[in-house]
């Protein structure tokens, strides 16, 4: 049987209960990785774990464990440590592929958006991202020394951060959310430069319009999104983003696809 692109990789994916995160977890497993999935909705994670861990075919009801769940708030330091610990306990080694996907949007600008939602968005999008990048960086750089004697070329290690096209191009209809993604982009590039010499790849993924739960949670109306579909569609699907991540992480350890900006073909701006 042919070797899969990500055989032997141990991944963590936050925000995996739906949308982009769920598709990322599915695609990583499809390509051979084992995954710790995280989100707040434990019931949705349980469904995903069952889907990703098939029956072993021996007729005894046992499953081939390809995924385990670590439910909780991805911006919480204790939950982050739980995710990293679960990778070690469930799969026997340090996670070498961490996807920082958990985040939330917010309809409106700095002037017009709901100020009552600002702090939660900043905590999730900026502080949560920073905490997970920090913990993943410490774990991976330590593992290179312990497991590989400092030779980073023996195996790839990836931190993948989901940003946004509005973190690159200011958008008046979502400038408060976009501001958090500008911060995420800056932190990601800083961590990339810090870790590059130690052999850890840090990749920023900047999607344009993706059809998911994101729009409803962020407060965009169905009418507004329908107008965007008419203008820019067909929109990206979550699996389009996931496919790019698997491609980047499947490269040899000395090759780094460091920044991926993807849009629907007809999306001219942002």
Q: What is the pLDDT of residue 60?
A: 63
Tally Cβ neighbours within 10 Å of residue 150. 12
Contact 23, 241 (CB under 8 A): yes
Separation between Cα atoms, residue 159 and residue 126, nearest integer Å: 15
Q: What is the pLDDT of residue 216?
A: 78
Q: Quick: pLDDT tens for 77-136.
A: 999 999 999 999 999 999 999 999 999 999 999 999 999 999 999 999 999 999 999 999
Separation between Cα atoms, residue 179 and residue 171, nearest integer Å: 10
Q: What is the mean pLDDT of residues 237-260?
A: 98
- Smallest Cα–Cα separation from 231: which of 269, 177, 193? 269
Residue 135 has which token pair? 């913990």
Q: Quick: pLDDT tens for 44-73.
A: 999 999 999 876 655 566 778 999 999 999
Integer-rounded Cα Rg, in Å, for the chain is 18
The fourth-level CATH superfamily of domain 10-262 is NAD(P)-binding Rossmann-like Domain (3.40.50.720)
Angle between helices 77-91 and 129-148 (to 10 degrees): 30
The domain spans of the chain are: 10-262
Contact 176, 126 (CB under 8 A): no
pTM score, whole prediction: 0.95
Q: Quick: pLDDT tens for 158-197.
A: 999 999 999 999 998 899 999 999 999 999 999 999 999 9
């Amino acid at each position: 049987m042919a070797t899969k692109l990500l055989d032997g990789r141990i991944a963590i994916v936050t925000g995996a209960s739906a949308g982009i995160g769920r598709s990322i977890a599915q695609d990583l497993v499809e390509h051979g990785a084992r995954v710790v999935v995280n989100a707040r909705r434990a019931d949705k994670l349980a469904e995903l774990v069952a889907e990703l861990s098939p029956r072993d075919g021996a007729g005894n009801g046992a499953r081939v464990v390809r995924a385990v769940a670590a439910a909780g708030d991805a911006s919480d330091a204790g939950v982050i440590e739980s995710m990293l610990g679960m990778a070690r306990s469930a799969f026997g080694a340090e996670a070498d592929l961490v996807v920082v996907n958990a985040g939330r949007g917010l309809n409106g600008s700095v002037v017009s958006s709901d100020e009552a939602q600002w702090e939660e968005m900043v905590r999730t999008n900026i502080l949560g991202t920073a905490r997970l990048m920090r913990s993943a960086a410490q774990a991976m750089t330590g593992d290179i020394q312990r497991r590989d004697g400092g030779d980073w070329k023996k195996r790839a290690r990836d931190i993948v951060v989901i940003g946004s096209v509005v973190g690159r191009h200011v958008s008046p209809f979502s400038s408060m959310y976009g501001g958090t993604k500008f911060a995420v982009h800056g932190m990601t590039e800083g961590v990339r430069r810090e870790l590059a010499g130690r052999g850890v790849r840090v990749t920023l993924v900047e999607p344009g319009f993706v059809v998911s739960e994101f729009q409803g949670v962020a407060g965009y109306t169905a009418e507004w999104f329908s107008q965007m579909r008419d203008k820019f569609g067909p929109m990206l699907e979550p699996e389009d983003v996931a496919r790019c991540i698997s491609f980047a992480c499947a490269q040899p350890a000395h090759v780094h696809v460091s920044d991926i900006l993807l849009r629907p073909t007809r999306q001219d701006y942002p």
